[in-house]
């Protein structure tokens, strides 16, 4: 059987699918000159191939089937499996319609198809509800899937074959993306665990299955295979909380060092799960970038969405340690929590600058279907276009801010964070001396210019 795997590339804005927002995906359409530049770099350095599709490719190939992969072209085959998203479902369903007309049986996998089946049911022969591997094993074993197919989560993640990147990307591209420190074109996603043990009400990462982790030996064997096939690969651990089990993380780093594996990696975690010793071991094993959520300045706001706050002193200390060791940091922020107002978001923007992370990503609160926040905020949601549940578009009636104000504050955050001399100085690790004094003076001028522009556009600045 010839199985076509479709991870379709979106045509508008910068779109992330697969494990982004748990699988619902995100889409940023540039809303200012600053975000145009931000989108350019994000599009070229964060377009990682789909780890879900790579697992499916491995299962199908192991059972003797031919695997074809596409991001756009309609290919010949017997069955097509399409990676679903919320932010690009119209393009995905249109491709599915064309595939069915050409004679393929078509199915959808992913969080969006699992939680929003009505968007896809009329365009498919089958929908896989849940993590896809169990159902794909049945499909590859000869079962003809039809309708909504329940797919139980694999309890022993070590039993899965390693992702087959050679079936999803050209060898030329894979060599090219591994040639620079933060690869052009993206890296190799790796899931060392699935789901998330935290309980944040707005996060869709934990709504499909429960938290499970792979063994250290199994993870290292996958890393060893990558290193054997590709020179010094760049690995992106897609776990929402990579350092959840500190001892396991240390054991993983130790095993990487014992085997002499030469790769670089980035991961996402909580800052309160990090300390200097752990960072040293991770850096020695190849860590180059850490991403983490700050979300908002107010601890009270965070507690209302079941987000455990991290003390400010610890945040600053860990970022300082990372800076000294050459580890890049990316902090995530969310605007539009129900207690938010103009001043609280302005304070969050100011804090993002003062905190000193290398990069920052700002989004607008999105009540994703299936999350506890969705149930809580349902009476406030006015948006009926599901593709606008993209992480950057207002979708509900906020008690203190209208949609225009939220979008303006989002644009102002990117402008204030990235268009200041100190951002470049921080990136280049210029920390002392007359250059830094000059940078401080130029920052003042830059913020004055931002203030004038903001007053011109909205009659008030975003500074507190």
Quick one: average pLDDT of 77-92? Answer: 98
Quick one: average pLDDT of 258-272? Answer: 97
Mean pLDDT of the chain: 93
> What is the DSSP secondary-structure string of 165-201?
GGGTS-HHHHHHHTSSSS-TT--EEE-SEES-S---T
Q: Which of these, 84, 92, 81, lies nearest to 22 by C-alpha position?
A: 84
Distance CA 258, CA 252 (A): 10
Q: Are 281 and 258 in contact (CB under 8 A)?
A: no
For residue 302, is pLDDT > 50? yes
Would 402 be classed as within a structural domain?
Answer: yes
For residue 172, is pLDDT > 90? no
Q: Are 430 and 441 in contact (CB under 8 A)?
A: no
For residue 432, is pLDDT > 80? no
Distances in Å between the alpha carbon of 91 and those of 108, 120, 262?
A: 13, 11, 39
Would 24 be classed as within a structural domain?
Answer: yes
Identify the pLDDT of residue 422.
87
Domain extent at residue 347? 283-288+321-464
Would 389 be classed as within a structural domain?
Answer: yes
What are 13-32's pLDDT values in tens digits?
999 999 999 999 999 999 99
Structure tokens at 244: 């959840």
Q: Are 82 and 56 in contact (CB under 8 A)?
A: no
Between residues 427 and 203, the one the model is more confident about: 203
DSSP letter at 12 equals S
Identify the pLDDT of residue 233.
94
Task: Decide which of 150, 168, 192 is a domain's last residue.
Answer: 150
Quick one: average pLDDT of 52-75? Answer: 97
Q: Which of these, 361, 317, 363, 358, lies nearest to 337 by C-alpha position?
A: 363
Identify the pLDDT of residue 176.
46
Identify the pLDDT of residue 180.
44
Quick one: average pLDDT of 422-448? Answer: 82
Identify the pLDDT of residue 15.
96
Q: Which of these, 200, 214, 160, lies nearest to 366 by C-alpha position?
A: 200
Would 387 be classed as within a structural domain?
Answer: yes
Please tell me the total count of domains within the chain: 2
Structure tokens at 48: 């990682």
Q: Which of these, 238, 209, 214, lies nearest to 159 by C-alpha position?
A: 214
Distance CA 320, CA 42 (A): 25
Identify the pLDDT of residue 170.
52
For residue 95, is pLDDT > 50? yes
Would 296 be classed as within a structural domain?
Answer: no
CA angle 22, 26, 28 (to 5 degrees): 160
For residue 178, is pLDDT > 50? no
Quick one: average pLDDT of 182-194? Answer: 85
Backbone dihedral region of 363: left (phi > 0), alpha (psi from -120 to 50 degrees) or beta? Answer: beta
Identify the pLDDT of residue 196.
95
Residue 304: burial class (beta carbons within 10 Å; 0-12, 13-18, 19+): middle
Domain holding 128: CATH number?
A: 3.40.50
Question: The whole model's pTM is what?
Answer: 0.94
Identify the pLDDT of residue 181.
56
For residue 440, is pLDDT > 90? no
What are 206-225's pLDDT values in tens digits?
999 999 999 999 999 999 99
Would 355 be classed as within a structural domain?
Answer: yes
Contact residues for 447 (Cβ-Cβ < 8 A; gap 6+): 416, 420, 463
Identify the pLDDT of residue 445.
86
Distance CA 287, CA 441 (A): 34
Would 244 be classed as within a structural domain?
Answer: no
Distances in Å between the alpha carbon of 169 and those of 15, 246, 328?
A: 19, 33, 27
What are 270-296's pLDDT values in tens digits?
999 999 999 999 999 999 999 999 999
Contact residues for 277 (Cβ-Cβ < 8 A; gap 6+): none
Structure tokens at 402: 């209208």
Would 23 be classed as within a structural domain?
Answer: yes
> What is the DSSP secondary-structure string of 320-376?
HHHHHTT-EEEEEEEE--TT--HHHHHHHHHHHHHHT-SEEEEEE----TTSHHHHH
For residue 96, is pLDDT > 90? yes
Percent of the chain with pLDDT over 70: 97
Task: Decide which of 133, 150, 167 is a domain's last residue.
Answer: 150
Quick one: average pLDDT of 87-112? Answer: 98
Task: Decide which of 150, 184, 205 is a domain's last residue.
Answer: 150
Lowest mean pLDDT among 132-146, 162-176, 383-397: 162-176
Percent of the chain with pLDDT over 90: 84
Phi, psi angle pair for 305, to nearest 5°? -110, 20
Q: Is 383 helix (H, G, I), strand (E, B) or coil?
A: coil
For tokens 């927002």, what's the residue?
Answer: 21
What are 307-335's pLDDT values in tens digits?
999 999 999 999 999 999 999 999 999 99
Other CB atoms within a 10 A radius of the CB of residue 151 amount to: 22
Contact residues for 141 (Cβ-Cβ < 8 A; gap 6+): 63
């Amino acid at each position: 059987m010839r199985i076509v795997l479709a991870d379709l590339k979106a045509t508008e804005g910068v779109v992330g699918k697969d494990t982004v927002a748990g699988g619902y995906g995100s889409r940023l359409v540039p809303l200012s000159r600053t975000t145009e530049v931000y989108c350019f770099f994000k599009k070229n350095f964060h377009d990682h191939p789909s780890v879900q599709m790579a697992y499916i490719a491995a299962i199908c190939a192991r059972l003797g089937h031919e695997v074809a992969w596409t991001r756009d072209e309609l290919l010949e085959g017997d069955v097509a499996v399409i990676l679903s998203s919320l932010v690009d479902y119209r393009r995905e369903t249109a491709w599915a319609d064309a595939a069915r007309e050409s004679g393929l049986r078509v199915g959808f996998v992913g969080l969006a198809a699992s939680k929003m089946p009505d968007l896809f049911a009329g365009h498919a022969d089958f929908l896989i509800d849940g993590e896809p591997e169990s159902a794909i094993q049945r499909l590859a074993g000869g079962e003809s899937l039809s309708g909504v197919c329940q797919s139980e989560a694999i309890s022993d993640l070590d039993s899965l074959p390693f992702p087959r990147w050679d079936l999803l990307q050209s060898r030329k591209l894979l060599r090219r993306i591994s040639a620079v420190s933060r690869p052009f074109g993206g890296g190799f996603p790796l899931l060392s665990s699935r789901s998330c043990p935290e309980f944040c009400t707005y996060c869709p990462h934990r709504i499909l299955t429960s938290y499970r982790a792979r063994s250290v030996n199994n993870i290292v064997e996958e890393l060893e295979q990558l290193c054997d096939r590709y020179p010094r690969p760049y690995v992106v651990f897609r776990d929402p909380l990579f350092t959840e089990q500190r001892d396991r993380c240390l054991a993983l780093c130790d095993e990487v060092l014992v085997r002499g594996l030469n790769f670089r990696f980035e991961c996402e975690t909580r800052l309160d799960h990090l300390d200097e010793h752990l960072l040293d071991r991770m850096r020695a094993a190849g860590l180059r970038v850490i991403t983490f959520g700050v979300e908002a300045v107010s601890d009270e706001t965070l507690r209302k969405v079941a987000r455990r706050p991290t003390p400010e002193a610890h945040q600053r200390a860990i970022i300082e340690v990372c800076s000294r060791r050459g580890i890049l940091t990316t902090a995530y922020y969310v605007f539009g929590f129900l207690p938010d107002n103009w001043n609280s978001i302005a304070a969050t923007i100011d804090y993002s600058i003062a905190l000193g992370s290398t990069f920052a990503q700002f989004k607008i609160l999105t009540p994703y279907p299936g999350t506890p926040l969705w149930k809580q905020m349902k009476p406030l949601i006015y948006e009926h276009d599901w593709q606008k549940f993209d992480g950057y578009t207002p979708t509900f009636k906020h008690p203190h801010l209208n949609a225009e104000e939220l979008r303006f504050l989002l644009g102002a955050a990117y402008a204030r964070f990235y268009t200041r001399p100190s951002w470049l100085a921080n990136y280049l690790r210029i920390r002392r001396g007359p250059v830094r004094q000059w940078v401080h003076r130029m920052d003042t001028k830059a913020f004055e210019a931002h203030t004038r522009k903001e007053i011109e556009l909205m009659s008030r600045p975003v500074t507190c």
